[in-house]
Amino acid sequence: MTTIVCIRKKDSVVLAGDGQVTLGNTIMKTGARKIRKMGDGSAIAGFAGSTADAFALFEKFDEKLAQYNGRLVRAAVELAKEWRTSKALRNLDALLAAADQQSSLIVSGNGDVIEPDDGIIAIGSGGPYALSAARALIHFDLTAREIAERSLSIASEICLYTNSSVHFEELPNHTKDKST
């Protein structure tokens, strides 16, 4: 159980995740890192669900990104297809949130690859709380990182399985003015 949120605002893309690891209803760790840069650093991803399953998905997703030359959507579709049909992967219990400069996606073992209309993703036990907070905050004069941080803070105040130890990954801005 965890909360991962991805915010896309203007030219910024930020992925944030809390650090709580639980076993049943016991907190086992407070500073786990559930997000990471993927491929050549042009994509970021985070997981919610079983830790061992998520690490297997990270590895498989990294392979797909390499196989499809960093094309996030194609890699996500191929991962979802394999995840749904492979006996080895089919029972993995996790969700993946992934983003690059163009797309933000939720990938599931049911074969889902979902790109939200508003560029905001939130998954995990505190996902609905973080999503609601982010959608409210997106209209204010806040950066993507500030929105992610505040959204996770709100989720941590409501969800028992989300804490306030937050890690961030940001994609470098590649949309700078090329006329200079």
Q: 7: Cβ–Cβ under 8 A, 6 or more apart, which residues?
A: 13, 14, 16, 119, 120, 134, 138, 144, 145, 147, 148, 151
Tokens 């560029």 -> residue: 119
**Amino acid identity, position 153:** S
Query: Under DSSP, is residue 114 helix (H, G, I), strand (E, B) or coil?
Result: strand
Active-site residue identified among 2, 3, 22, 175: 2
2 classed as catalytic? yes
Tokens 């907070």 -> residue: 133
Q: How far is it, in rounded angstroms, from Cα 15 to Cα 107? A: 15
Q: Which residue numbers are catalytic?
A: 2
